[in-house]
């Protein structure tokens, strides 16, 4: 045991560690280029955003864009960890006003961002809170019944003729009558196992009374169940004609197997399924994918909204301008547009977009409706945190499994909505 040698060894160790730490701390600040970090919560489009970052770096040699992707339910916790540890990203993708409100002190006011003038008006309130715009809509998503055109054609159903609930119901019954001949496992492939699909489905009946004012929807203390009767009609139709058991049907299987292979005629999804379908077979969505609206009051129309909003954090003043420039480029340049529309298959959330540039008829239809006068935005992203997983999802599943009545479903969701708002809104 030689104390001297021992101390020398320890001293060396400390030196090595401290040098490493200092090196690490210096990393990034020595060069004069800036790195902006983009926090993405949509894993399915990661490669698209990486491509965009690469394109931007090419034309802006001093800027590096780092894409961080955490999604599928753990995005929220990862983002919080980033904020709390002081390592906040520069641009963050946030889902709905509950999340924007949560970080509103850390987000820049984007009222004067030039691209705001180009954003579709119905999408703006989804990023507005405390009188300011803190987030910019990412895209336009269409919500309705995605239907397989080939199946409809074989069954002799003209989707253009479905104009109200009665004709929708008639079409469903017609499909069911030819189930064997069409090779269907069920008319619907409703993925009852996923609470998120149940929630977006419910938004078809809960959004009307807010007239596209998502801030108002976020502030509301009660669910508006005015159209619960119509929702019950749809739910009972699904329950009767769905692939069974409905609680075993999951999102991936419903899109990639049931819908893609024509084993079901309809699934309650939007245009976000396009990349998956086209990856499985090129041109599938252009040929086979159509969308039907829900008929809630009078003439039905596909709902259009944006699930995600981009905000800029105020933690790094030296990089604010870079982040704003990047956003500006993202929404404005021909290069980014190409990746966004053709690779990521987004429908752009900006006005005066040339329809011919959109690669498939469904995207065109969604853009036309979303930018039209009667656009209707769904409100499910403004529900209280946890309402989806803990209240409406499980209760709908209980209804599907005949554990509760429709009356109980309405009462429970209403009271849990109120409770969650009380707990979370208490500032």
CB closer to another protein out of 103 and 218: 103
Least distance CB 427 / another protein (angstroms): 9
Q: 138 in helix, strand or coil?
A: coil
Among 80-88, 174-182, 277-285, 340-348, which window interacts with another protein (CB under 8 A)? 80-88
Q: Decide if residue 424 touches another protein (CB under 8 A).
A: yes
Q: How far apart are CA 190 and CA 249, in angstroms?
A: 7
Token pair of 234, please? 């749809």
Residues, the chain: 427
CB closer to another protein out of 3 and 25: 3
Among 28-36, 225-233, 374-382, 417-425, which window interacts with another protein (CB under 8 A)? 417-425
Q: Decide if residue 46 touches another protein (CB under 8 A).
A: no
36, 319 in Cβ contact below 8 A? yes
Location of structure tokens 């996923």 = 194
Least distance CB 192 / another protein (angstroms): 8
Select from 64, 219, 357, 398 the one that contacts another protein (CB under 8 A): 398
Among 204-212, 224-232, 347-355, 390-398, which window interacts with another protein (CB under 8 A)? 390-398
Please calculate the CA angle 148-151-155 and round it to the nearest 5 degrees.
140
295, 206 in Cβ contact below 8 A? no
Site string for another protein, 1-40 (x = CB under 8 A): x-x--x---x------------------------------
Select from 386, 406, 412, 414 the one that contacts another protein (CB under 8 A): 386
Which residues, 158 to 187, sit near another protein by CB under 8 A?
A: none
363, 345 in Cβ contact below 8 A? yes
Q: How far apart are CA 40 and CA 47, in angstroms?
A: 11
Select from 59, 80, 167, 342 the one that contacts another protein (CB under 8 A): 80
CB closer to another protein out of 73 and 121: 73
CB closer to another protein out of 29 and 402: 402
CB closer to another protein out of 7 and 62: 7
DSSP string, 50-62: HHHHHHHHHH-TT
Please calculate the CA angle 247-385-71 and round it to the nearest 5 degrees.
70
Whether omega for the bond prior to residue 366 falls within 30 degrees of 0, making it cis, is: no
Q: What is the DSSP letter of 384?
A: P
Q: Where are the beta strands (DSSP E) in 17-140?
A: 34-40, 63-69, 91-94, 128-129, 132-133, 136-137
Least distance CB 407 / another protein (angstroms): 17
Q: How far apart are CA 120 and CA 180, in angstroms?
A: 45
> 147: part of which helix (H) or strand (E)?
strand 145-148
Least distance CB 10 / another protein (angstroms): 7
Select from 150, 232, 253, 292 the one that contacts another protein (CB under 8 A): 253
Q: How far apart are CA 339 and CA 334, in angstroms?
A: 9
CB closer to another protein out of 1 and 181: 1
Q: Decide if residue 44 touches another protein (CB under 8 A).
A: no
Residues that bind another protein (CB under 8 A): 1, 3, 6, 10, 73-74, 76-77, 80, 83-84, 102-103, 192-193, 195, 244-248, 250, 253, 385-386, 389-390, 393-395, 397-398, 401, 403, 420, 423-424
């Amino acid at each position: 045991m030689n104390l001297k040698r021992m101390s020398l060894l320890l001293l060396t160790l400390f030196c090595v560690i401290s040098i490493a730490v200092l090196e690490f701390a210096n990393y990034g600040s020595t060069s004069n280029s800036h790195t902006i970090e983009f926090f993405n919560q949509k894993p399915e489009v990661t490669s698209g955003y990486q491509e965009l970052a690469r394109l931007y770096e090419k034309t802006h040699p001093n800027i590096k864009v780092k894409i961080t992707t955490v999604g599928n339910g753990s995005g929220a916790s990862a983002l919080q960890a980033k904020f709390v540890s002081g390592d906040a990203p520069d641009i963050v993708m946030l889902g709905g006003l509950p999340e924007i409100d949560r970080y509103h002190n850390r987000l820049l006011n984007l009222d004067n961002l030039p691209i705001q003038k180009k954003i579709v008006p119905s999408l703006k309130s989804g990023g507005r809170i405390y009188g300011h715009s803190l987030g910019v809509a990412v895209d336009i998503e269409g919500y309705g019944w995605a239907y397989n055109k080939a199946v409809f054609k074989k069954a002799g159903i003209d989707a253009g003729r479905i104009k109200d609930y009665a004709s929708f119901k008639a079409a469903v019954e017609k499909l069911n009558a030819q189930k064997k001949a069409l090779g269907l496992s069920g008319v619907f492939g409703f993925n009852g196992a996923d609470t998120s699909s149940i929630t977006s489905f419910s938004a078809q009946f809960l959004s009307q009374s807010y007239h596209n004012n998502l801030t108002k929807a976020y502030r509301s203390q009660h669910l508006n169940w005015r159209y619960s009767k119509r929702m019950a009609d749809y739910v009972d139709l699904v329950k009767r004609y769905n692939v069974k058991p409905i609680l075993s049907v999951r999102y991936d299987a419903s899109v990639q197997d049931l819908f893609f292979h024509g084993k079901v005629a309809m699934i309650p999804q939007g245009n976000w399924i396009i990349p998956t379908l086209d990856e499985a077979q090129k041109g599938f969505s252009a040929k086979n994918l159509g969308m039907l609206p829900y008929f809630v009051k009078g003439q039905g129309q596909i709902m259009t909204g944006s699930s995600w909003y981009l905000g800029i954090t105020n933690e790094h003043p030296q990089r604010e301008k870079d982040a704003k420039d990047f956003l500006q480029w993202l929404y404005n340049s021909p290069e980014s547009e190409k990746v966004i529309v053709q690779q990521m298959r987004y429908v752009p959330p900006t006005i005066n977009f040339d329809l011919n540039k959109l690669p498939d008829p469904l995207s065109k239809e969604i853009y036309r409706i979303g930018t039209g006068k009667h656009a209707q935005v769904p409100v499910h992203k403004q529900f209280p945190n946890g309402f989806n997983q803990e209240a409406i999802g499980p209760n709908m599943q209980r209804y599907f499994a005949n554990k509760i009545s429709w009356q109980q479903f309405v009462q429970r969701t209403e009271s849990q909505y109120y409770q969650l708002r009380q707990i979370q809104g208490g500032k």
